[in-house]
Amino acid sequence: MRHNFRNLKVYKRAIEYSTEIYKTTGSFPKEEVHGLTSQIRRAAISIALNIAEGSGNSSEREFKRFLEISLRSAYELMACLEIALKLKYLSETEFEKLAIEADEIAAMITGFSKSLESSNIIKERYIK
């Protein structure tokens, strides 16, 4: 079963989050462009990209594998945000906002992955 990733709430939220990450990391020091800034941006984008790529699989098992990769990217991003906070590239308020959103997206990915066996739950909870 293939899924239209554009209709998935978690995909839409991951896209919005990536945009927010780009805006926020734009103020990081220029010497971090090829370091932490790049790593944070890649991890954020990877969340949405793996959801999109996985949705093209006809196998639910394969889709779940891509969702797992997406979840790992969310965790990677959380670690990067903690480093950015310690380096004072983020304020405590910015960090909290971004960390809460990353946690919520991770929870959505986990819930969606667990629900793939039941298409009714998918349609009611995770699509449009």
Q: How many independent structural domains does the chain possess? A: 1
The 3-class secondary structure across 17-45, one letter per residue, is HHHHHHHHHCCCCHHHCCCHHHHHHHHHH
The 3-class secondary structure across 44-108, one letter per residue, is HHHHHHHHHHHHCCCCHHHHHHHHHHHHHHHHHHHHHHHHHHHCCCCCHHHHHHHHHHHHHHHHH
The CATH number of the domain holding residue 11 is 1.20.1440.60
Least confident of 16-20, 83-87, 124-128: 124-128
DSSP for residue 120: H
Q: Range of 60's domain?
A: 5-126
CA end-to-end span of the chain? 17
pLDDT, one tens digit per residue, over 34-92 is 999 999 999 999 999 999 999 987 788 889 999 999 999 999 999 999 999 999 999 99
Which pLDDT belongs to residue 46?
Answer: 98
Residue 117 in this model has a pLDDT that exceeds 60: yes
Q: What is the dihedral of CA 26, 30, 33, 35, to 10 degrees?
A: -120
Report residue 82 CA to chain centroid gap: 16
